Amino acid sequence: MARKGMGGMPGGMDMNALLKQAQQMQNDMMQAQEALKDEVVEASAGGGMVKVKISGDLVVQDVAIDPDAVDPEDVEMLAEMVQAAINEAIRSAQQLAESKMPQMPNMPGMPGLGG
């Protein structure tokens, strides 16, 4: 007995087409994630006294500290500048990732997929 509606799904959705689209989205996401490994963002703190470079996949590539930032009397401030620079670099890398990742299509009737 043949089912009515494409693929037997409500609303005439074709299950094979849906699976193919999901596989393509997964491939696109994997390619975007791989490309992010090659992207690098830089952030600084303390007026540029501490600079951090981080890749798009959130791996710290470089930390540069101006010698003038090193005050043995105030190591805490140096630690705070390093932390601030790293956090800003992470935010920038996350924004980069969001801009590069493929967007999920609106798929009505599919929970969690824009429906």
Tens digit of pLDDT for each residue in 9-41?
A: 556 668 888 888 888 888 888 887 787 888 899
Distance CA 19, CA 16 (A): 5
CA distances (Å), 8 to each of 1, 2, 5, 36, 91, in order? Answer: 11, 9, 5, 39, 45
pTM: 0.63
pLDDT digits (tens, 9 = 90+) for 85-108: 999 999 999 898 888 877 766 555
Each residue's pLDDT tens digit, 59-71: 999 999 999 989 9
Nearest to 83 by CA among 56, 60, 109, 99: 60
Class of domain 39-100: alpha beta
User: Would you list the domain boundaries of the chain?
Assistant: 39-100
Please state, in angstroms and rounded to a whole number, the distance separating the CA atoms of residues 28 and 74. 47
